[in-house]
Structure 1
Amino acid sequence: MKQTTARNGVWRDGNRVRLLENGEEFFEAAFAAIEAAEREILLETFILFEDKVGLALHRRLVAAARRGVRVEVLVDGYGSPRFSPEFLSELSAAGVSFRSFDAHRPLLGVRLHVFRRMHRKLLAVDGRLAFAGGINFSADHLADFGPTAKQDYAVELQGPVAADIRDFVHASISSRGVGASWNPAPEAGAAAAGDARAMLLLRDNAGRSDAIEQEYRRAIRGARREALIANAYFFPGYGFLRELRHAARRGVAVSLIFQGEPDTQLALTAARSLYRHLVDAGVRIYEYCERPFHGKVALVDDDWCTVGSSNLDPLSLSLNLEANVFIRDAAFVGELRRKLQDLMTQHCQAVDPADVPPYSVLQSITRPLLFHCLRHFPDWAGWLPAHTPKTRLVAAPADADNGRTP
């Protein structure tokens, strides 16, 4: 089976991939996998709340641990700041190992660990099935949450790339949530399960600091007909913007989908500050106005796409720990394209270049300064001692000596 390496990742042949849209599809598939687990459940998530989704996950994890499945969970200390004693004690009693990443205590009621988040959303079950994407375990990913329910995507994977995800999450949970020591084996660690090529790529603060961004840029440089990016938080560096402009100017149909009803107003303000720069090169921009857009997906032509946790903003590109799966499969790319085209035609407002104000002389001077400050602020903030990565065991298994806890 031929494998190809790319920037700290390995393209694996022989995968089965399935696109999951929003919490309705993702939770059904993830919960079914957890219920069927026989040996091991490894989970990393940025957000886990004690709402109806978090409690449904909790029940399944406890039940799995009680029937002898090894269950390891890592959540982010900023995204998932607190849990009730009952929630944690039930996990401990069942034998679940439950850790929090960068779990610094507030100082005078102020949370200092704002940056360097464990932003990944990965689930591995028995080394044979895995999930990746942007969907957290919280009720705001379900339509019945109301007008602020998020629009998002994930992917279910089976085959060699699922084994890669399992090996990485195991290494991550065993090494303070960073997983920098993990390197994919040259040869596949699992049998083929389908026809798709896929690759797991990570962003960390060690040797993979720009792996996800560079794979995006490589694909955009090679685009022949189309590049479609749908991303919740968009404020990349000049190099990324240059690739998009060059692609549009050589005739590639470059389309971008952003939040039009953002959960954070700063995200829309930052993205809109780039509109003039992009539309002048022929880039088409759409704002999704149905509800908050939380996706982190993209496709190029008919043979490349990505689904993952990484936004294209300074936090995700400079500080956060992220995970994206890249896929080469015409059927999967086609399905993602249909989903995004429906979004554009049914639920988005196209940005008219005539309505984007030109830069004034003063803005031509101040905008580059503001751009660089916003782009590099997370890097500067990352020097703070409060952002030294660590994990804390917040729910230790009652039988911690039996080998359940690494």
Structure 2
Amino acid sequence: MLDKKEHQYEKAVLVGVVTQNQDEKKLAEFMDELEFLAFTAGATVEKRFTQKLTQPDSKLFVGKGKAEEIKQYVIENDINTIIFDDELSPSQLKNLEREIEVKILDRTNLILDIFAQRAQTSYARTQVELAQYQYLLPRLSKMWSHLDKQKGGIGMRGPGETEIETDRRIIRDKITLLKDKLKVIDKQMATQRNNRGKMVRVALVGYTNVGKSTLMNAISKSDVFAENKLFATLDTTVRKVVIGNLPFLLTDTVGFIRKLPTQLVESFKSTLDEVREADLLIHVVDISHEGFEDQLNSVNQTLEEIGAHNKPMIMIFNKIDDFSYEKKADDDLSPETHKNISLEEWEKTWMANSKYPTVFISALTKENFPEMKKMIYDEVQKIHIARFPYNDFLFQYFDDEEEI
């Protein structure tokens, strides 16, 4: 199903709209993220197009004049791909391709393509394939003429590349078969979770690219793939970890993202089950990201949607080594930028007043790891004592810098 071959970088432009529900600042954040998604998928962004509309145009997403402006730029600059920041309806997709005559992708298709590139195991590939078919089904009539004209590249990995005669009935049959296959695997994974015994389960959650895998490697001394790209890893990793002399299971899960395609939420049910069935969540936040508050809220919203928002949680604000902020215009006393804020200063911020235990760290440099280790130990021990009230004397925390 997936194209393993390396592909050349494609030239792309991005398109987004300012609406009554999305102001210019919010759109800029989404477009920055979309550009990072495009880079992760294998594209270089040549230009961004934005337009103010009450709501996206029902026919072309943007107005007729803006569509003509984009078309002219695409022709003059030999652009391969146009990527829209929101999910396009089947009719919008069809109209845009007829109007501009190049490959049109939306945010959902782009994320699905990245997942198709990153899926390593058979299970992850099956999950992605199901999500792709669910996305393709309502767009089927458009896709065949599109695929006949455009071969390969971003958004083109996956089902439907080879056989134009595939129809809706066959796609529905494939979706049914994939769902059945995932049900079998889900049962197997549920059995694996049950077979782990009564050990406390801890799950790392957070926005994509906040440093969960780097933190997983540091805590568990494992070698989970970590990269400065979105969705660097899709496959759930579970490791036995011992802090002090208290053992527990630590799980690294797929990162969340704003506007996460509903197809992926459904197909990655078992991955999300690792979060739902965890005893403790460690919510990792990239404090150096300009939009970290929105990312934090997006993760909390997703946790609520999957019924995991009431679990015990630790807040870990990561990447304090990479944080900086701009000097205000009327501030003549501070340097141009202020980097590496002290831990004492971090602990006076509003983030430290969370209802959850909170710690500020750098997973890369391991700054403030002793406090983080102690915090994880304390929370795991609470759960362990509640589960085994008669053997808490067996565990005693000690701070061993060589352990991590």
How does the TM-score come out when normalised to structure 1?
0.28
Higher relative contact order at CA 8 Å, sep ≥6: structure 1 or structure 2? 1
Higher fraction of strand: 1
State which structure, 1 or 2, has the greater radius of gyration over its C-alpha atoms: 2
How does the TM-score come out when normalised to structure 2?
0.28
